[in-house]
Amino acid sequence: MMAVSPIVAKEAVDSIEHGVAKSEKYLAVARRQAEAAADKEAVATVDQIGTHLAEVKKCCRDLAECCEMDAIDGKRSAACCKELEAALGKAIAAHDKLVPPSAAAGHGGMPAGSHHP
């Protein structure tokens, strides 16, 4: 098995963190709109997505620590990646609850995982 370069892994983490930052801006707007509409369920779902994004950010920090080593600890980084994948999956599932894939026609007809970072 070939080891992943810490530089390549760091680039991946940076890319995910960039996507999370954009998603947080999107969520802030969505939350304001849900509050203005007095849609408590939507506000709760947006907050749930925010919680999952916080998990993603934690996983990114953990993975970034692995990237700072001369050689990446394969077991540790694999565990970080599994946690990251789970947190992203939860965020996407919550987003799809808020904006079901069938209603995503305004987003090109793609589910959340395909059109949001």
Render each residue's pLDDT in the chain as its tens digit; 117 residues.
455 677 777 888 899 999 999 999 999 999 999 999 999 999 999 999 999 999 999 988 888 887 777 777 778 878 888 898 999 999 999 989 888 777 655 554 444 444 444
pTM score: 0.74
**CA–CA separation, 80 vs 22, rounded Å?**
22
> Which residue in the block uniquely carries the two structure tokens 């919680």?
51
- Confirm if 43 and 33 have CB atoms less than 8 A apart: no
Segment 65-77, tens digit of pLDDT = 877 777 777 788 7
**CA–CA separation, 90 vs 87, rounded Å?**
5
| φ and ψ at residue 99, rounded to 5 degrees | -130, 90
* Cα 42 versus chain centre, distance: 18
CA-nearest of 98, 91, 94 to 37 is 98
- Confirm if 77 and 66 have CB atoms less than 8 A apart: yes
